Amino acid sequence: MGWIRPDVAAEVLGGGPMESVQRRCLRECGDTGCALCREACPVDLPTPGEAAVLPDNLAERCLGCGACAAVCPTGAIEFVGGVYGRRLLEATRAARERPEIDAEDAAAGEFIFSCAEPDSDVPGVYGACIAWLDVPAMLHIVAEGFGRVRVLNGPCGGCDRGGDLLSGRVESDAISVNRLLEAIGSGARVELVEDSGMARPEAVGSGSEALDRRALVSDTLRRGLGLLSRAALPRDDTEGDAASTRAPRPHYRRAVVVGALRSIVAGVVRDGGDVPADTTLPPANPGSLSHVGPRVDAGLCSGCGICALLCPTGALGVRTDEGVTDWRLSLDVGACVGCELCVAACPVDAMALVDRGLAGIVRDRRIRLVRREARKCTKCGQLFGSVVPEESPDRPDARPGRDTALCPVCERSARRFAQFY
């Protein structure tokens, strides 16, 4: 029929336990003040800045709605077991099972997200709370060829899951998506329908059944997530640059946005539109829609690599291979969420955020930011990039060369220690 039935929704969309990756949390790397997850949670559960974002002793209070994961800019909170990816897979299946329509009608096709039960043959995701719905999911459906994505949030009013708070967030996401689509020349739009005339059904299960059955479909899901839409991470164009100092897992929702936007832009171009890589995009907050990223003043960079060490999504990477002759700092714009941690952490103020426009999301090659001769610290063994050989007359602010076998971190420690004696 082209829609996810309530019985399937109870299994895949009914909610489930959440997990956190502490090192991705912006509060873990500094006092950023970020509390988006707690502000979005209807029961004020997440505790950013504490020893654990999702404490085990509070897990029983979690509703499994996914609102916290939908607003986290770095992917520090996510459903356990790839549930978010399963939801998109089910949405994709529903989209592709719609009745055959000609090309002209395809752009006007509708897709519906609603917690109510379906009352028509319009493709959609029905029968489960829409708290999980976010920008990546909206763009994913548009990339599937639907010109009109409708979110029926009328039943959210008075919902004990924080319906008013949810409606405001989903409305904000819809506005952001529509501004982006307009900027690249796409006629698709996301609409919020407050008075749907559809009654909110009984609450679906907590997802325990889905957990019991997950082992039966794990292999299929692993293959499906790899093929999902066009959400493959951008490739690396320079041998060795992809090696990160920490290599955290990819920010899946950002990858969904990258893949979906590439597909939407390709569709606009096929229809005769012109979408330059430097197309200006509307301002976006840090997160999956960000198109800003760091630029490095190579003359000021000390080659310490702290920026890559702290990057919560692995967007910044340095070569750490044994035997390399050069030290490289590179940026994967497809993974960068514009959190600005690298800028704040840089000890020599060599980094600044710049707006790269459309290319700041869809570029498929890493950007080489700094390239230096590689040295190995005689104290800690860490590879680092040697500084500028000598002070340039054209750059009085550039760091002069130094004859040392210590990395910048150990050198600063030694200098501070020497001040006491």
Domain shared by 359 and 216, yes or no = no
Return the pLDDT at 10.
Answer: 46
pLDDT in the model for residue 107:
47
In this predicted structure, what is the pLDDT of residue 234?
31
Whether 396 maps to a domain, the answer reads yes
Last residue of a domain, one of 224, 239, 263: 224
pLDDT (tens digit per residue) in 135-186: 999 999 999 888 999 998 777 766 766 677 788 888 899 999 999 999 999 9
88 and 207 together in one domain: yes
28: in domain: yes
Q: In this structure, what is the dihedral angle of CA atoms 398, 404, 406, 411, given to the nearest 10 degrees? A: -60
What's the pLDDT tens digit per position in 310-321?
Answer: 899 999 998 766
Q: Mean pLDDT over all residues of the chain?
A: 75
Domain range for 83 is 3-224
Q: From CA 213, how far away is CA 367, in angstroms rounded?
A: 42
Per-residue confidence band for 369, with pLDDT thresholds at 50, 70 and 90: very high
User: 282 with 344, same domain?
Assistant: yes
Among 64-68, 116-120, 401-405, 414-418, the minimum mean pLDDT is found in 401-405
Distance, CA of 82 to CA of 87 (rounded, Å): 9
Question: 124 or 179: whose pLDDT is higher?
Answer: 179
* 60 and 177, same domain (yes or no): yes
Q: What is the pLDDT, as a whole number, of residue 232?
A: 33
What domain count does the chain have?
A: 2
DSSP string, 329-368: EEE-TTT-----HHHHH-TT--EEEEE-TTHHHH--SPEE
Same domain for 268 and 399: yes
pLDDT in tens, 14-61: 566 888 888 888 888 766 788 899 888 888 888 887 777 887 777 778
pLDDT at 321: 61
pLDDT at 197: 53
Q: For the segment 370-402, what is each residue's pLDDT rounded down to a tens digit?
A: 888 878 788 777 777 776 544 444 444 445 545
| Model confidence pLDDT, tens digit, residues 235-279 | 333 444 444 444 456 688 999 999 999 999 999 999 999 999 889
The pair of three-digit structure tokens given for residue 288, joined into one six-digit string: 């999956």
Distance CA(198)–CA(186), nearest Å, equals: 30
pLDDT at 334: 92
CA angle 188, 126, 59 (to 5 degrees): 110
pTM for this prediction: 0.78
pLDDT for res 395: 42
Task: Answer yes or no: do 197 and 343 share one domain.
Answer: no
Give all strands (DSSP E) within 143-255, no chain letters: 148-152, 189-193
Instruction: Note whether residue 247 is domain-resident.
Output: no
Residue pair 367/328 in contact (Cβ under 8 Å)? The answer is no
C-alpha 103/C-alpha 82 separation (Å) is 33
Question: How long, in residues, is the chain?
Answer: 421
Write down the pLDDT at residue 101: 47
Question: Are 335 and 373 in the same domain?
Answer: yes
Instruction: Provide the pLDDT for residue 217.
Output: 30
The verdict on residue 187 lying in a domain is yes
Q: Is residue 64 part of a domain?
A: yes
